[in-house]
Amino acid sequence: MQVHVQLLSILRECLPPGAERGQAMIALSPNATLADLVAHLGIDRFLGYAADDIIATASWQVRVSGQFEMAMGRVLQDGDEVCIFPPVAGG
């Protein structure tokens, strides 16, 4: 299955070579989860958190096909659009 991934900020370094503007198409096994995607791209190692802790502990934001996601166990579907970006700070 193929998912469109957009990584913002420092996570752009986790995209495969040839990715443009922080975006890439990523091939995953059927029934892959958000945690599988994070591990596949090495985001967990890059940030120093377990894949399941990217949202809950590290407070990174994840959107899947336009909807914010709070569970890294969410099963992805072919054609999903995943965006991962840093916590938003305001003032």
Give Cβ neighbours of residue 25 (< 8 Å, ≥ 6 apart). 2, 3, 4, 5
Q: What mean pLDDT is reported for the chain? A: 93
Give the residue, 79 or 59, on which the prediction is more confident.
Answer: 79
Show me where the domains of the chain are located.
Answer: 2-85
Please tell me the distance from the alpha carbon of residue 40 to that of residue 90, in angstroms, as a whole number: 31
Reported as a single tens digit per residue, the pLDDT across 26-56 is: 999 999 999 999 999 999 999 999 998 999 8
Structure pTM? 0.92
Q: Tell me yes or no: is domain 2-85 CATH 3.10.20.30.
A: yes
